[in-house]
């Protein structure tokens, strides 16, 4: 495509059909455009805030992934010396007279806990939804910014505060919290329960309380913006699927995080004020505590009332990104647009009524479990609809096999592989065998860990040109993809076998269990695969930062030949996104290959005799 030509055509169309919101009369010489501090640090521009979320997310992803390498090393090579980690981990590595360094078991649990907390909340919630909801909602809807740019800024800074508190907790002398990312009482409720339950837990809960505030501020903004601030012509059924996914994600967050917050407040009271909401019949060192009448299962219910929607808060944005990027690079309209929307809504609804499937073995009433089994298995239906539609979109497409597209295909692969094992685990009877084994670890890492990362990578590679005005290196990107894809299957594939053999998760060492000694080689293999995959991610980080400054420059407004509105803004868009009028929307965003024309952007009016495709 000849860039100059397009450039002109787009601006002319917007000038002709655009919608004048008199932005410039109010914002000429906007004070937020000027000094460094307000432009890049305390910015209210959604595009800057999106990048802040992304950078913080990358920071946490590196830490979270590095932690997993340390505990994978322990699991794969329990006899090898870890003395080389002494400079980083300090007192958590014990070196004996022979010079062999071992990892403190307490710290192993802290690493597992922090890995989960960091990846689930800081990377795949804030880093994924925070980045792309912020970046794409106003741009793809034709809005100047979020409904409340100020609260949007606060949303990031609450996340930052939350991050700072959690980061600080890593350096406590008693270590960070070590009772699992779900923070079940009594480990989380009794400071005397373990060393990680002391200050580590206090900071953990403070950090997550701040995180909830961040999610709520963000979510209120996303919902209000999508519902009330769309540009002229952007009806709900014309919105790109990314926006549908972000909207529903925000709704899930708005309804589930407050419940987590309630659960945390009760937990804080149990920790510090001597109440017994979650405690009963507790013995510490042979002494019974006077903390009776509550139930730890109550916490689990409250936690998973958030926890299950949280899974979809993680995966839905990835699904939205994949739907959009897949259509763009297959040069085909997304197959079954409305079915996609309805399946997102169905998944969102179901996500609120299935939470207890995380607790089948916790002592939930078995009769009640039946309902949770049925509801859980129903989720397979909308999920299968989505998978079918992605594959059908690819079928017969004019596929560009570039990095974002590869990650989309990888996402679909991961989602199928991980989704299938979900059907096993969703059955309470089968769960008796599988629960708390590596089968569960394999399942959720593939379906919401790796898959969500693939969606995030697809998004980063695809919108990098819009974010930074340069391309990421495609060759490095492809290498990154292939190592990650193969690596992820090599790590989590074998775990299914471990799990089926009954190898329990969370164990520090298996040397006392003869039944599991046959898996030593498999554990070594998994660890090596994990280390290789980790270094592939370093490749991504290098590519990312190198490309920010040295990548190939973007020369056209619409480098991918995409239909959605973000590609009608200038390459380096300022605060307010469009320099003149806002484009009005004339069609849906999936007119690819229609009437023999490769793509038609959303603001281009219907041609003579053309039938609209969006009804």
Closer residue to other proteins, CB minimum distance, 100 or 374: 374
Is 584 among the residues that bind other proteins (CB under 8 A)? yes
CB of residue 298 to other proteins, shortest distance in Å: 6
CB of residue 264 to other proteins, shortest distance in Å: 10
| Binding segment toward other proteins, per CB under 8 A, in 85-93, 106-114, 225-233, 589-597 | 225-233
Q: In this chain, which of 92, 109, 305, 590 binds other proteins, going by CB under 8 A? A: 305
Is 563 among the residues that bind other proteins (CB under 8 A)? no
| Binding segment toward other proteins, per CB under 8 A, in 81-89, 93-101, 129-137, 214-222 | 214-222
CB 322 within 8 A of CB 411: yes
Nearest to 317 by CA among 353, 350, 344: 344
CA–CA distance, 565 with 14 (Å, rounded to integer)? 11
Is 216 among the residues that bind other proteins (CB under 8 A)? yes
CB of residue 592 to other proteins, shortest distance in Å: 22
Segments in 426-519 forming alpha helices (H): 428-434, 438-444, 451-468, 474-500
Q: In this chain, which of 3, 33, 38, 275 binds other proteins, going by CB under 8 A? A: 275
CA–CA distance, 508 with 421 (Å, rounded to integer)? 25
Within 354-413, the residues that bind other proteins by CB under 8 A are 356, 364-365, 367-368, 371-372
Is 151 among the residues that bind other proteins (CB under 8 A)? yes
Sort strands 93-95 and 101-103 into parallel, antiparallel or unpaired. Answer: antiparallel
CB of residue 46 to other proteins, shortest distance in Å: 14
Is 353 among the residues that bind other proteins (CB under 8 A)? yes
CA–CA distance, 128 with 318 (Å, rounded to integer)? 8
Within 2-31, the residues that bind other proteins by CB under 8 A are 19
Is 606 among the residues that bind other proteins (CB under 8 A)? no
Give how many residues touch other proteins by CB under 8 A.
Answer: 69
Is 192 among the residues that bind other proteins (CB under 8 A)? no
Q: In this chain, which of 76, 101, 179, 219 binds other proteins, going by CB under 8 A? A: 219
| Binding segment toward other proteins, per CB under 8 A, in 352-360, 404-412, 493-501, 543-551 | 352-360
CA–CA distance, 337 with 343 (Å, rounded to integer)? 10
CA–CA distance, 1 with 113 (Å, rounded to integer)? 50
CB of residue 243 to other proteins, shortest distance in Å: 12
CB of residue 244 to other proteins, shortest distance in Å: 14
CB of residue 42 to other proteins, shortest distance in Å: 20
Q: 């014309």: which residue's tokens?
A: 238
Cis peptide before 319 (omega within 30 of 0): no
Closer residue to other proteins, CB minimum distance, 81 or 280: 280
CA–CA distance, 26 with 145 (Å, rounded to integer)? 14
Question: Residue 199: CB partners within 8 Å, gap ≥ 6?
Answer: 169, 172, 174
Question: Residue 349: CB partners within 8 Å, gap ≥ 6?
Answer: none
Is 293 among the residues that bind other proteins (CB under 8 A)? yes
- The CB density around residue 78, as the number of other CB atoms within 10 Å, is 16
Closer residue to other proteins, CB minimum distance, 356 or 452: 356
Q: 């800024």: which residue's tokens?
A: 153
Within 89-148, the residues that bind other proteins by CB under 8 A are 141-142, 147-148
Nearest to 347 by CA among 323, 313, 382, 371: 382
Is 286 among the residues that bind other proteins (CB under 8 A)? yes
Token readout for 389 is 């539609």
| Binding segment toward other proteins, per CB under 8 A, in 260-268, 317-325, 504-512, 564-572 | 260-268
Is 69 among the residues that bind other proteins (CB under 8 A)? no
CB 64 within 8 A of CB 56: no
Is 227 among the residues that bind other proteins (CB under 8 A)? yes
Is 258 among the residues that bind other proteins (CB under 8 A)? yes
| Binding segment toward other proteins, per CB under 8 A, in 27-35, 178-186, 279-287, 433-441 | 279-287
Closer residue to other proteins, CB minimum distance, 426 or 551: 426
Is 580 among the residues that bind other proteins (CB under 8 A)? no
3-state DSSP assignment of residue 598: strand
CB of residue 471 to other proteins, shortest distance in Å: 32
Is 285 among the residues that bind other proteins (CB under 8 A)? no
Distances (CA, A) of 427 to 89, 164, 348, 372, 434: 41, 40, 20, 9, 10
Residues 195-233: b if buried by 16+ CB within 10 A, e if exposed: bbbbbbbbbbbbbbbbbbbbbbbbbbbbbebbeebbbeb
How far apart, in Å, do the first and last CA atoms of the chain sit?
29
CB of residue 353 to other proteins, shortest distance in Å: 5
Residues 28-42: b if buried by 16+ CB within 10 A, e if exposed: eebebeeeeebbeeb
Closer residue to other proteins, CB minimum distance, 240 or 263: 263
Is 186 among the residues that bind other proteins (CB under 8 A)? no
CB 418 within 8 A of CB 439: no
From the number of C-beta atoms within 10 Å of its C-beta (0-12, 13-18, 19+), residue 518 rates as: exposed
Is 276 among the residues that bind other proteins (CB under 8 A)? yes
| Binding segment toward other proteins, per CB under 8 A, in 32-40, 178-186, 268-276, 501-509 | 268-276
| Binding segment toward other proteins, per CB under 8 A, in 35-43, 153-161, 294-302, 324-332 | 294-302
> Is the alpha carbon torsion for 404, 440, 367, 310 positive or negative?
negative
Q: Which residues bind other proteins (CB under 8 A)?
A: 19, 141-142, 147-148, 151, 216, 219-221, 223-225, 227-236, 251, 254-259, 261-263, 265-266, 269, 273-277, 280, 283, 286-290, 292-295, 297-298, 301-302, 305, 349, 352-353, 356, 364-365, 367-368, 371-372, 584-585
């Amino acid at each position: 495509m000849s860039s100059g030509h397009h450039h002109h055509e787009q601006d002319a169309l917007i000038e002709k059909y655009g919608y004048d919101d008199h932005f410039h009369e109010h914002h000429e010489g906007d004070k937020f455009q000027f000094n460094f501090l307000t432009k890049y640090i305390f910015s209210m521009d959604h595009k800057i805030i999106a990048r802040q979320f992304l950078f913080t997310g990358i920071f946490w992803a590196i830490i979270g992934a590095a932690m997993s390498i340390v505990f994978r090393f322990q699991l794969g090579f329990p006899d090898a010396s870890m003395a080389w980690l002494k400079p980083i981990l300090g007192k958590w590595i014990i070196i004996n007279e022979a010079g062999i360094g071992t990892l403190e078991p307490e710290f192993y649990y802290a690493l597992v806990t922090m890995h989960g907390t960091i990846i689930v909340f800081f990377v795949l919630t804030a880093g994924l939804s925070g980045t792309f909801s912020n970046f794409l909602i106003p741009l793809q809807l034709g809005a100047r910014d979020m409904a409340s740019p100020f609260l949007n800024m606060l949303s990031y800074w609450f996340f930052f505060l939350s991050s700072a508190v959690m980061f600080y907790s890593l350096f406590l002398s008693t270590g960070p919290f070590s009772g699992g990312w779900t923070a079940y009482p009594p480990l989380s409720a009794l400071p005397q329960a373990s060393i990680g339950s002391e200050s580590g837990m206090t900071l953990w809960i403070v950090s997550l309380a701040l995180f909830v505030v961040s999610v709520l501020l963000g979510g209120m903004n996303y919902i209000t913006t999508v519902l009330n601030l769309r540009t002229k012509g952007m009806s709900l059924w014309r919105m790109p699927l990314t926006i549908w996914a972000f909207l529903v994600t925000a709704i899930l967050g708005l309804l589930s995080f407050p419940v987590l917050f309630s659960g945390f407040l009760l937990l804080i009271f149990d920790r510090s004020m001597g109440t017994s909401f979650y405690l009963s019949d507790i013995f510490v060192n042979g002494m019974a505590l006077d903390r009776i009448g509550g139930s730890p299962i109550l916490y689990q219910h409250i936690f998973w009332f958030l926890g299950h929607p949280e899974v979809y808060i993680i995966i839905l944005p990835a699904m939205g990104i994949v739907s959009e990027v897949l259509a763009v690079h297959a040069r085909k309209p997304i197959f079954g647009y409305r079915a996609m929307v309805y399946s997102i809504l169905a998944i969102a609804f179901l996500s609120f009524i299935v939470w207890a499937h995380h607790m089948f073995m916790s002592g939930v009433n078995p009769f009640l479990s039946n309902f949770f089994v049925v509801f859980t298995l129903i989720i397979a239906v909308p999920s299968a609809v989505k998978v079918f539609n992605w594959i059908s979109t690819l079928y017969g497409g004019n596929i560009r096999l570039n990095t974002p597209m590869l990650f989309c295909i990888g996402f679909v692969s991961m989602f199928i592989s991980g989704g299938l094992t979900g059907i096993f685990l969703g059955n309470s009877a089968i769960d008796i065998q599988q629960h708390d084994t590596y089968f569960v670890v394999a399942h959720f890492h593939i379906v919401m860990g790796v898959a969500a990362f693939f969606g995030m990578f697809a998004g980063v590679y695809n919108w990098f040109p819009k974010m930074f005005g340069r391309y990421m290196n495609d060759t490095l990107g492809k290498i990154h993809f292939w190592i990650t894809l193969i690596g992820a299957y090599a790590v989590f594939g074998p775990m299914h076998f471990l799990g089926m053999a009954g190898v329990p998760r969370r164990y520090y060492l298996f040397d006392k269990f003869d039944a599991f000694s046959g898996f030593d080689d498999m554990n070594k293999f998994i660890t090596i695969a994990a280390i290789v995959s980790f270094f592939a991610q370093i490749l991504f980080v290098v590519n990312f930062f190198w490309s920010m400054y040295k990548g190939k420059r973007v020369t056209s407004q619409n480098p991918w030949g995409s239909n959605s509105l973000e590609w009608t803004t200038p390459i380096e868009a300022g605060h307010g996104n469009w320099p003149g009028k806002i484009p009005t929307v004339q069609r849906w965003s999936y007119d690819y290959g229609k009437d023999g024309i490769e793509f038609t952007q959303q603001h281009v009016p219907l041609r003579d005799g053309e039938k609209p495709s969006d009804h």
